[in-house]
């Protein structure tokens, strides 16, 4: 389409007055609001004076099989949005608000806003601050890791196909924390913050876990609290501060993750509430059932010290919702609900014959809410996320 030039003395679309633009911005849905604010400087300044229409529901990021991109689903509107960017060959590692942590086909990391497609490039994976660990790129997806000890040097090859990540972004200030990690055989965890040109390595093998332990999962809360769950029933709490960039605040008192009925659970997931309380969620799947055979159980620390029962089961989350993919609870969304996809935990992803399951589970009524609009989509991944206008 031919671009029209405004007549002399008139206003172009980028120079429309604020009093005309504001009602237009107020009428826009959340995705269009995010896109309109980056059209030009004038529109961006108007967006700062205008509150976007609140969305009452979390959204889903869906990655179709055999597709080069992702689509966004708003359950409140029952509407699917298509992103403009080509995401061929990328993996989405984590979400925080509108932002996603993305790994491309050459193992480059960046953060991208799913709505405006604003992009923040991150340091190369091999750029690590001087320590007893080095990382050398030996291919698009292969890295040689060396860990130096007084007795010997250990060498391992890390493949980014199995790398996992965590992300925290402050939507107002654009401050962020990016964390990526590998479990066995490397037990490698590194992170960076905005302004860093290198990653800080957390030497788990020597300082936090013994040699027989491996990483099972990692939870990043509020950008400064890190919970590392081992495969030996313990959770370490680190704070991302201090001269080293981190400090272990649970060294003398690690948290056990064993629950009363662990042997009957298909998957244990560690979550941390908005107040900093560690909880465990058991996701149980009965594949022989003709009905929906999934259920959830939630456990928190026993308020009455008991060496034989560290956790007790709870049947309420109060006024908070639990997002298993984010590993945390959020107030003011859908009280007492668990937002889940079968991509939320490694143990589910290992089951090749398991179809993608997306649901909201009410902990009190033990009932499920499903989404027929997307039930027939062939998906290889799905993630719940919270747009920055969601809830309170």
Q: Read off the pLDDT of residues 58-115 as tens digits, 9 standing for 90 and up.
A: 999 999 887 667 899 999 889 898 887 778 888 999 999 989 999 999 999 999 998 8
Q: What is the pLDDT of residues 5-48, one digit of tens each?
A: 444 444 466 677 766 776 776 666 666 666 676 677 676 776 66
pLDDT of 346 reads: 56
pLDDT of 108 reads: 96
pLDDT of 32 reads: 67
As a whole number, mean pLDDT of residues 251-258 equals: 52
237 pLDDT exceeds 70? yes
Pairwise CA distance, residues 133 & 144, whole Å: 10
CA angle 23, 26, 27 (to 5 degrees): 90
User: Which residues lie across from 312 on neighbouring strands?
Assistant: 300
Poorest-pLDDT segment among 2-16, 183-197, 282-296: 2-16
As a whole number, mean pLDDT of residues 370-379 equals: 88
Residue 136 CA: distances (Å) to CA of 126, 143, 152, 183, 240: 6, 5, 18, 18, 25
Burial of 225 (0-12, 13-18, 19+ CB in 10 A): middle
165 pLDDT exceeds 50? yes
Could you tell me the sign of the dihedral formed by the alpha carbons of 43, 48, 49, 54, in that order?
positive
Q: H or E element: which one contains 101?
A: strand 99-103
Q: What is the pLDDT of residues 119-147, one digit of tens each?
A: 999 999 999 998 888 999 999 999 999 98
Enumerate the domain spans of the chain: 10-53, 59-83+258-380
pLDDT of 252 reads: 45
What is the percent of the chain with per-residue pLDDT over 90, rounded to a whole number?
A: 32
pLDDT of 87 reads: 82
Contact yes or no for 70/63 (Cβ under 8 A): yes
Give the pLDDT band of residue 262 (cuts 50, 70, 90): very low
Pairwise CA distance, residues 276 & 269, whole Å: 16
Could you tell me which residues come within 8 angstroms of residue 324 by beta carbon, excluding any fewer than 6 positions away?
A: 269, 271, 281, 283, 338, 339, 340, 341, 344, 345
pLDDT of 211 reads: 57
């Amino acid at each position: 389409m031919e671009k029209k030039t405004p007549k002399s003395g008139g206003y172009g679309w980028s120079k429309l007055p604020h009093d005309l633009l504001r009602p237009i911005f107020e009428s826009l849905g959340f995705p269009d609001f995010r896109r309109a604010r980056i059209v030009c400087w004038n529109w961006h300044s108007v967006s700062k004076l205008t509150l976007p229409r609140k969305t009452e529901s979390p959204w889903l990021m869906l990655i179709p099989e055999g597709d080069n991109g992702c689509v966004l689903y708003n359950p409140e509107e029952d509407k699917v949005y298509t992103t403009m960017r080509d995401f061929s060959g990328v993996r989405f590692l984590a979400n925080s608000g509108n932002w996603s942590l993305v790994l491309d086909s050459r193992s480059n990391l960046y953060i991208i806003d799913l709505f405006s497609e604003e992009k923040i490039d991150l340091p190369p994976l091999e750029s690590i601050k001087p320590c007893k660990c080095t990382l050398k790129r030996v291919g698009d997806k292969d890295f040689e890791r060396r860990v130096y000890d007084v007795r010997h040097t250990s060498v391992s090859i890390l493949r980014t196909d199995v790398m996992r990540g965590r992300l925290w972004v402050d939507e107002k200030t654009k401050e962020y924390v990016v964390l990526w990690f590998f479990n066995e055989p490397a037990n490698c965890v590194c992170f960076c913050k905005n302004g860093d040109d290198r990653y800080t390595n957390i030497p788990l093998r020597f300082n936090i876990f013994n040699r027989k332990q491996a990483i099972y999962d990692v939870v990043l809360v509020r950008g400064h609290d890190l919970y590392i769950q081992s495969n030996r029933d313990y959770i370490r709490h680190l704070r991302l501060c201090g001269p080293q960039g981190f400090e272990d605040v649970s060294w003398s008192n690690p948290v056990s993750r064993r629950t009363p009925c662990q042997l009957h659970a298909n998957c244990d997931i560690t979550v941390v509430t908005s107040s900093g309380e560690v909880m465990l969620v058991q996701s149980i799947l009965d594949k022989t059932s003709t009905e929906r055979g999934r259920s959830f159980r939630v456990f928190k620390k026993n308020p009455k010290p008991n060496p034989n029962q560290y956790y007790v089961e709870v049947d309420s989350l109060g006024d908070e919702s639990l997002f298993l993919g984010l590993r945390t609870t959020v107030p003011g969304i859908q009280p007492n609900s668990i937002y889940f996809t079968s991509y939320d935990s490694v143990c589910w992803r290992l089951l090749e014959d398991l179809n993608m399951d997306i649901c909201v589970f009410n902990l009190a009524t033990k009932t499920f809410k499903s989404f027929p609009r997307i039930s027939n989509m062939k998906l290889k991944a799905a993630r719940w996320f919270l747009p920055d206008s969601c809830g309170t």
